[in-house]
């Protein structure tokens, strides 16, 4: 896997059978309909303040959550520095394979790609699923990070930025509204890959994850 990162970073020239495109894939969630802690705008208080205009909105209680959860299946293309994601109600093997087919469609069939995965059970089950045997033979290499080494997956820092820019301080009323916010963030992020605030959050997330295992 580290050799794949060396190829993606341009520190190693790919061989004849080596992939030229490396994509990190993982799931983000569960996505609940609940208030997320974070920063938000609030009226400036004068003196003791005014009850009609509180300094900040109180977080509502969520004792029951009848709307279920959603999951974001995402892929981070290291060759183009672009993030892709689909919000699904489940994150099983079928949804994972459908997203892998989408990742395969992003590049020509003659381009060999590698997908970096963790040891989540739907990912591991691809080793015995005949559907993957037919699909993975389509010029795709599956690379698994070591057990308890999910921090090696470079998409983790992208999830930190997604949470910071799209979810912190929000309280969505529906999953459709929340999914729309996530899609809008991904579109913005892919258009502003050099944004200083975005790069700062990603660098900080990488540093923290490396420090935890040092």
The CATH number linked to 6 is 3.30.420.10
Task: Identify whether 209 is part of a domain.
Answer: yes
Least confident of 31-40, 92-101, 174-183: 31-40
Distances (CA, A) of 25 to 16, 60, 68, 114, 169: 24, 34, 24, 10, 26
Measured CA angle at 15 (ends 14, 18), to 5 deg: 75
Task: Identify whether 62 is part of a domain.
Answer: no
- Is 113 in contact with 81 (CB distance < 8 Å)? no
Q: pTM value? A: 0.84
Task: Identify whether 60 is part of a domain.
Answer: no
DSSP annotation of 87 reads E
Query: At residue 72, what are phi and psi to the nearest 5 degrees?
Result: -100, 120
Structural domain total, the chain: 1
Which residues does residue 77 pair with via DSSP β-bridges, in sequence order? 23, 82
Task: Identify whether 195 is part of a domain.
Answer: yes
What is the domain range of residue 160? 2-30+67-213
- Is 87 in contact with 72 (CB distance < 8 Å)? yes
The yes-or-no verdict on residue 50 having pLDDT over 70 is no
How confident is the model at residue 57, as a pLDDT?
63
How confident is the model at residue 49, as a pLDDT?
60
The tokens for 17 are 């059978």
Task: Identify whether 93 is part of a domain.
Answer: yes
Q: What is the mean pLDDT of the chain?
A: 84
């Amino acid at each position: 896997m580290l050799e794949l990162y060396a190829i993606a970073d341009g520190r190693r020239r790919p061989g004849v059978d080596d992939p030229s495109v490396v994509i990190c894939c993982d799931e983000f969630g569960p996505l609940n309909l609940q208030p997320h802690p974070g920063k938000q705008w609030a009226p400036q208080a004068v003196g003791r303040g005014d009850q009609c205009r509180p300094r900040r909105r109180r977080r509502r209680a969520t004792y029951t959550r009848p709307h279920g959860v959603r999951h974001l299946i995402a892929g981070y293309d290291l060759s183009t520095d672009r993030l892709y994601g689909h919000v699904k109600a489940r994150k099983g093997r079928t949804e994972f394979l459908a997203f892998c087919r989408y990742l395969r469609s992003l590049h020509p069939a003659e381009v060999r790609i590698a997908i970096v995965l963790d040891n989540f059970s739907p990912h591991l089950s691809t080793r015995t699923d005949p559907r993957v045997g037919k699909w993975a033979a389509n010029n795709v290499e599956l690379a698994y990070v070591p057990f308890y080494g999910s921090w090696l997956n470079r998409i983790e820092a992208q999830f930190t930025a997604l949470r910071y820019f799209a979810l912190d301080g929000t309280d969505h009323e529906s999953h459709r509204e929340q999914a729309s916010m996530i899609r809008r963030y991904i579109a913005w992020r892919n258009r502003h890959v050099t944004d200083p605030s975005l790069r700062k959050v990603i660098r900080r997330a990488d540093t923290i994850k490396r420090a935890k295992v040092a």
